[in-house]
């Protein structure tokens, strides 16, 4: 049974690998870009779901941690000549000037630094609950933006950094998204994951069961920051240009939307919604250009996409309170049962998908 499951997982990963290989070699740049964004957004959505969905800590710091990761990776991967060109207003800190590392090291450093920042933020604020925690983490995200705008010799301030090497390709983004998914699945199904869910369900009772709230909450928060940092690094080396305004609250809001839409506390839900939303975000660009309906011409309104997304969010909250998946996972058994259900002759009873 267990081996069977592992085998199926391996098969799915192989199919995904084949698809990624095919896409990287045959798709045009635009499609590859969108697929990369799908994978990066999946990582970010999972990162936010870990705190908000699984551990019951309402955090809004994603964009801040992304910024930390993005800048770390940028500084580590940019060759000195490019740095020289970027820092024409004021010279870069000479120690950082010489730094140069391969992408893998940059990614790990981005994650670790974001996790460290996550721990430093988390340690004092994680005793807050609900909206208070949300406000504190939101404040942190804004502060990071302000700091990065003003540390001219490190981040080049508001000018941003340009000409980052475009290391991010589908192998990196899908590989890391797959690793994140598998890692989170085993983590959340372990004793530590149960402890986090217990904290989400009832903090007082969890603590009375001997669960160290400080350790477990900070652990989840730091892992979430780690993943957001990696997401930010992948994003930076995909877009090749970063500046502090990229990592504003609106980005966190987008990711939060994906978490809620997919289902708070569902890994597969996050993957599905991150993929659908990223693709739709591009597909809906048409509503922002001038529409000619024959009898009437609607002028293009920039930002119209976000209006549509806001409407979707309202609809989801009203009609599909728990998102697409709720807290359920799309497991092999669930799929099998759904298939059985489609074949009435077999008369398989309807079952709920397995809970995580």
Q: How far is the CB of 81 from another protein (least distance, A)?
A: 39
Element (H, E) at 75: helix 62-77
Integer-rounded Cα Rg, in Å, for the chain is 22
The runs of H, that is alpha helices, within 87-102 are: 94-97
Return the beta strands (E) in the chain as ranges: 161-162, 241-242, 291-292, 297-298
Query: Cβ of 167: how many Cβ atoms within 10 Å?
Result: 19
Q: Which residues bind to another protein, rule: CB under 8 A? A: 183, 186-187, 190-192, 194-195, 197-198, 201-202, 204-213, 219, 327, 355
Q: How far is the CB of 194 from another protein (least distance, A)?
A: 5
CB closer to another protein, 230 vs 235: 230
Q: How far is the CB of 6 from another protein (least distance, A)?
A: 11
CB closer to another protein, 90 vs 205: 205
Q: How far is the CB of 183 from another protein (least distance, A)?
A: 6
Q: Are strands 161-162 and 241-242 parallel, antiparallel or unpaired?
A: antiparallel
CB closer to another protein, 29 vs 191: 191
CB closer to another protein, 170 vs 211: 211
CB closer to another protein, 238 vs 260: 260
Burial class of residue 163, CB neighbours in 10 A (0-12, 13-18, 19+): middle
Distance CA 180, CA 67 (A): 19
Give the residue from 344, 32, 332, 266 showing the smallest Cα distance to 170.
32
CB closer to another protein, 222 vs 228: 222
Distance CA 170, CA 61 (A): 26
Distance CA 218, CA 199 (A): 12
Q: How far is the CB of 197 from another protein (least distance, A)?
A: 6
Q: How far is the CB of 214 from another protein (least distance, A)?
A: 8
Structure tokens at 263: 């289902």
Cβ atoms of residues 16 and 178 within 8 Å: yes
Distance CA 65, CA 263 (A): 22
Q: How far is the CB of 355 from another protein (least distance, A)?
A: 7
CB closer to another protein, 56 vs 145: 56
């Amino acid at each position: 049974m267990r081996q069977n499951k592992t085998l199926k997982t391996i098969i799915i990963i192989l199919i995904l690998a084949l698809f990624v290989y095919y896409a990287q070699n045959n798709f045009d740049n635009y499609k590859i870009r969108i697929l990369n964004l799908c994978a990066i957004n999946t990582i970010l959505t999972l990162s936010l779901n870990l705190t908000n969905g699984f551990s019951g800590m309402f955090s809004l710091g994603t964009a801040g941690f992304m910024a930390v990761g993005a800048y770390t990776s940028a500084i580590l991967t940019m060759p000195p000549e490019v740095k020289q060109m970027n820092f024409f207003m004021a010279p870069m800190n000479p120690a950082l000037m010489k730094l140069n590392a391969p992408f893998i090291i940059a990614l790990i450093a981005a994650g670790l630094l974001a996790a460290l920042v996550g721990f430093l933020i988390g340690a004092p604020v994680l005793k807050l609950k609900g909206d208070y925690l949300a406000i504190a983490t939101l404040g942190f995200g804004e502060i990071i933006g302000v700091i990065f705008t003003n540390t001219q010799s490190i981040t080049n301030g508001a000018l941003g950094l340009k000409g980052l090497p475009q290391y991010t390709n589908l192998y990196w983004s899908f590989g890391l998204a797959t690793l994140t998914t598998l890692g989170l699945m085993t983590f959340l199904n372990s004793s530590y994951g149960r402890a986090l869910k217990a904290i989400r369900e009832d903090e007082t009772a969890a603590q009375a069961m001997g669960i160290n709230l400080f350790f477990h909450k900070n652990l989840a928060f730091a892992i979430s920051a780690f993943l957001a940092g990696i997401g930010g690094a992948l994003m930076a080396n995909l877009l090749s240009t970063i500046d502090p305004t990229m990592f504003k609250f609106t980005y966190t809001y987008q990711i939060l939307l994906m978490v809620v839409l997919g289902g708070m506390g569902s890994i597969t839900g996050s993957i599905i919604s991150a993929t659908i939303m990223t693709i739709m975000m591009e597909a809906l660009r048409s509503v922002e250009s001038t529409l000619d309906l024959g009898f009437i011409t609607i002028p293009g309104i920039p930002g119209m996409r976000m209006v549509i997304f806001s409407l979707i969010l309202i609809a989801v909250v009203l009609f599909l309170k728990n998102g697409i998946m709720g807290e359920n996972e799309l497991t092999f058994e669930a799929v099998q049962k759904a298939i059985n259900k489609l074949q009435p002759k077999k008369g398989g009873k309807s079952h709920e998908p397995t809970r995580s």
